[in-house]
Amino acid sequence: MLYRPGFIAALFAVMALMGTSVMSPASAGVTDQDIANDAKTTSQIVTNGMGRAAQRFSPLKTVNKSNVNKLVPVWAFSFGGEKQRGQEAQPLIYDGVMYVTASYSRLFAVDIKTGEELWQYDARLPDGIMPCCDVINRGAAIYGGMVYFGTLDAKLVALDSKTGKVKWKKKLGDYKAGYSMTAAPMIVKGKVITGVSGGEFGIVGKVEARDAKTGKLAWSRPVIEGHMGTLNGKPSTMTGKKNATWPGDMWKWGGGATWLGGTYDEETDTIFYGTGNPAPWNSHLRKGDNLYAASRIGLNPDTGEIKWHYQTTPWEGWDFDGVNEVVSFNSGGKKLAATADRNGFFYVLDRTNGKLVNATPFVKQISWAKEIDLKTGRPVFIDSNRAGDPTKSEGKKGKAIFSVPSFLGGKNWMPMAYSQNTGLFYVPSNEWGMDLWNEQVTYKKGAAYLGAGFTIKPLFEDYIGSLKAIDPKDGSIKWEMKNNAPLWAGVMTTAGGLVFTGTPEGYFMALDDQTGKVLWKFQTGSGVVSQPVTWDQDGEQYVAVVSGWGGAVPLWGGDVAKRVKHLNQGGSVWVFKMPKG
């Protein structure tokens, strides 16, 4: 049957008069255009990173340097129960609803005006899950009427965004082998893009794309050379060349977990992902560069083929994962990207081809490398600061060293932010080192595959955490805010001249983006290790953060963990705004 445009308009008018619901653009779900415009649209947040470039910059400036000290809580929402540990999620805001994940693979939909729960989804986790670094979840993706997130038993779940009902569920890997998923998925061209966690169990890192409507696998790209990729259900191409940079069979359990998630650059049509440490930690078992572990890679979003790579730590031997976020920005007419590595160096790359532009240290006393050679792009190693080969020792352990940074990194998972106002990056970092030694190890499915031992130690008595403002042009540090406990929260900047972040001591705070002066802080009752967001509704600017101490530090922190053992766990969302008038 054919309808004329006038008839359609009349029909909609009659339906409206009769009280019949008419599908609005919002109820139709998040579109590709919504995602593309997320960095500029202030009334909603539909991407992890507050925009595809992951700059975590908001153009809002109602809340600014002159009035931020007047921010007050509007509502708080508790995740409840006994599952209050390690809350690292970034909330999403869409069509009057906040979507926020929580520890133990939970997802909540909350009314953004009242803080009332609309629905809750709890993944039924099996016994025997093996999360490396706490039971955290870093967020969701939303698209076309569905919301997506990963679970600790390595599943990707798609839920109806209105009801929380499961639309589909797909397995990403065998949790009994150590696979899990903690990162927020990403939407690119109608596909859900995911990585995997579990590098400490000898899994093989990979990036995969699935049809957002059905969950059908479109392509899979392992990031360790020698493994075969797939495209449309068929083998495609091998990653790299087998045994080019890996000895023997070590590539089969090569690690390289893609556990933090990726970003997408529309200008070059490229997905950026970071890859984790090669496995095992004992580097003497796998002499070679061990591609593509400890690297940043650029992927074709249509096929999953690797377009370029840059390896931050060849022949990695300190657990310096290369997963840290790749943040796109333009400077001097050039398409650039910045990334701050676990190894303590801040890198600027040409994002069209992955070539190194600059690399500078952003933490103190780095001991594993003298510098990054800007001509070759490779580190200049300090050979004496590689833990010894246990086969050349009389005991079971190789020669121990003291290394800086520690394996938890100069910067770990917590995302940095870029300010379009100042042109600076705001990087949450930590000043610590570790005793490190190698041990013999063989791969066994589902068992820890380290071949190393370690103890983390602080470098300074008065602080560990350090929020730094870094100029990407030359790597200079413009200011530094020191914190007693390690910093483990993400950062957000705004056009109001503010930098928002949190501390394990429980404070959510706003700093002056030019000086680092703390202008406002609020005690949330538990450590802040999450990612703040801001949006406007009804003409007012809101700011939100998730509170709940946990993550890797209390589990792996050695002497550092003793410094923060008194901190209380929790699980809640705090929302703030300016009082009217």
Which are the catalytic amino acids? 319
Instruction: Give the residue carrying structure tokens 């900047």.
Output: 493
What strands, in cross-sheet order, belong to the sheet with 146-150?
141-143, 146-150, 155-160, 166-171
Residue 474 identity (one-letter amino acid): D
Could you give the CA distance from residue 33 to residue 16 in angstroms, rounded to a whole number?
27
Could you give the CA distance from residue 65 to residue 42 in angstroms, rounded to a whole number?
19
Length of the chain: 581
Instruction: Give the residue carrying structure tokens 């899950």.
Output: 129
* 182, two tokens: 């903690």
Query: Which 8-state DSSP code applies to residue 252?
Result: G
SS3 content of the chain, % helix, strand, coil (to 5): 10, 35, 55
Nearest of 249, 204, 245 to residue 228 by alpha carbon: 204
Could you give the CA distance from residue 39 to residue 45 in angstroms, rounded to a whole number?
8
**HSE (CB half, 13 Å, CA atoms) of 486?**
35
Nearest of 119, 118, 125, 186 to residue 155 by alpha carbon: 125
CB 434 within 8 A of CB 474: no
Helix (H, G, I), strand (E, B) or coil at 265: strand
For residue 547, the cross-strand partners are 572
CB 154 within 8 A of CB 178: no
CB 123 within 8 A of CB 151: yes
Could you give the CA distance from residue 524 to residue 296 in angstroms, rounded to a whole number?
35
Nearest 5 degrees, angle CA 433-CA 436-CA 439?
165
